[in-house]
Amino acid sequence: MKILVTRQIPNKGPDLLKSNGYDVFVNLEDRVIKKAELIGYLERDRYDAVLCLLTDKIDSDIFDAAKESGVKIFANFAVGTDNIDIKAAERVGIIVTNTPGVLADTVAEHAFALMLSLAHRIPESDRFTRAGKFKGWEPMLLLGSDVSKKALGIVGLGRIGSRVAYHARRGFDMPVIYHDIRRSEEFEKEYGAEYRQNVDDIFRGADFVSIHVPLLVSTRHLVDARRLRLMKKTAYLVNTSRGPVVDEQALVEVLRERVIRGAALDVFENEPALAPGLAELENVILTPHVASATEDTRQAMSELAARNIIEALEGRIPPNLVKH
Ligand code: GLV
């Protein structure tokens, strides 16, 4: 059986597939594969599975070509599956899987790193020091904010949001408020967390708002100008979920007007492009969609994507099936 991997990924998954007797073809162009190229591969050869990335937009034309080729499964090397038209997959009877769980701690750490970096003004301090502006200790130099005991607002209490709450509570003694489509009394008991039915109350009440929802029709621009303007003047926004969850242009405006103190983004509305004006702001931290990018985690994602393929091709239900 033959597997198409749309771009080079850490070796564990491809190695696992090979050691299970699969023929693995990796597209070695080190850039996002074009739709026509992917369809071309599928038309030229017979494939049983595709291991794809979040930068591959998998639409119904690709699913039609994949079906013809013999593909049974698309295993996404990501937890988010907004790049895949799941309905189209179901129409042609192709399975879609993702890689949840293995990246939750790493992404939660990144969200926390961003919170600490914002509050302690780490990138600004680094720029200042490198620029030779440090002339000696000053009582008023680069004053920041504390993180400990400040209120954390979590929007989206999945695996990642829960781990952010864990670090906040156990490490920094932060009171936690959260919003999710499902309330979890167990979580509330464990972390002394409080549920907010209305997402606006998270924006009103938190000192740090951390976003952990998937990108859906219902979460596009969940963080819009109106909600940003509900936030405390001293509050910070952190987004490690998907760019379009935040209205990036509205964020630029509130940061410019100092409606909130700062924001950190790992994801962008039109990746890799940034909203005009965003990169010029001092009160924002930008990272290039690397929240899950540790060696161990990317290897674990690679392995999990491969496991999903093996399970599906051996006729079992893969562990991380995504349903519409
Ligand atoms: C990364 O953004 C992922 O969805 O895994």
CATH number of the CATH domain containing 24? 3.40.50.720
Establish whether 120 is a catalytic residue.
Answer: no
> Are 167 and 278 members of one domain?
yes
For 81, the 3-state DSSP assignment is coil
80 CA from centroid of ligand 1 (Å): 5
Task: Give the domain range for residue 214.
Answer: 104-286
What pLDDT does residue 165 have?
97
Q: Separation of 287 CA from ligand 1 center, angstroms?
A: 14
**pLDDT recorded at residue 267:** 98
Q: What is the pLDDT at residue 158?
A: 97
- Whether residue 318 is contained in a domain is answered as no
Strand partners, 4: 25, 50
Most informative mutation of 103, 290, 294 for ligand 1 (most atoms within 8 A of CB):
103
pLDDT above 90 (res 97): yes
Q: Catalytic residue, from 110, 163, 179, 242: name it.
A: 242
Structure tokens at 183: 């309330």
For residues 45 and 185, membership in a common domain is answered with no
Which of 27-31, 77-81, 114-118, 119-123 is least confident? 27-31
Q: Do both 258 and 301 map to the same domain?
A: no
210/122 same-domain check: yes
- Regarding whether 309 and 277 lie in a shared domain, the answer is no
Give the Å distance between the CA of 293 and the centre of ligand 1.
10
Note if the bond before 319 is cis, omega within 30 degrees. no
**Cβ 35 vs Cβ 61: under 8 Å:** yes
Q: Is 289 noted as a catalytic residue in this protein?
A: yes
Which residues make Cβ contacts (< 8 Å) with residue 203, sequence separation at least 6? 153, 209, 227, 228, 230, 231
94 and 139 within one domain: no
Cα–Cα–Cα angle for 158, 161, 164, rounded to 5 degrees: 150
Distance in Å, CA 291 to ligand 1 centroid:
8
Name residue 200's beta-bridge partners. none
* Mean pLDDT taken over the chain: 98
Active site (annotated) includes residue 7: no
Residue 322 domain-assigned (yes or no): no
- Token pair for residue 38? 């992917």
Number of structural domains the chain divides into = 2
Q: Are residue 97 and residue 130 in the same domain, yes or no?
A: no
Residue to mutate, 107, 215, 271, ligand 1, most ligand atoms under 8 Å from C-beta: 107
Is the predicted pLDDT of residue 39 greater than 90, yes or no?
yes
How far are the Cα atoms of 89, 207, 288 from residue 152, in angstroms, in the given order? Answer: 38, 6, 24
Do 93 and 134 reside in the same domain of the chain?
no
Per-residue pLDDT band at 218 (split at 50, 70, 90): very high
Ligand 1 atom closest to Cα of 242?
2
Using a 10 angstrom Cβ sphere, with 0-12 exposed, 13-18 middle and 19 or more buried, the burial of residue 272 is exposed
How high is the pLDDT of residue 45?
Answer: 98
The share of the chain scoring above pLDDT 90, in percent, equals: 100
Residue in 105, 292, 297 to alter for ligand 1 test, most ligand atoms within 8 A of Cβ: 292
Residue tagged active-site, from 159, 167, 169, 289? 289
pLDDT-based confidence at residue 324 (cuts at 50, 70, 90): confident
Q: How far apart are CA 110 and CA 305, in angstroms?
A: 22
Same domain, 95 and 108: no
256 falls within a domain: yes
Expressed in angstroms and rounded, the spacing between residue 78 Cα and the centre of ligand 1 is 4
Instruction: Using a pLDDT cut of 70, give the percent of the chain over it.
Output: 100
Write out pLDDT tens, residues 243-260.
999 999 999 999 999 999
Please indicate, yes or no, whether residues 98 and 41 belong to a single structural domain of this protein.
yes
Residues with CB under 6 A from ligand 1: 54, 78-80, 103, 292
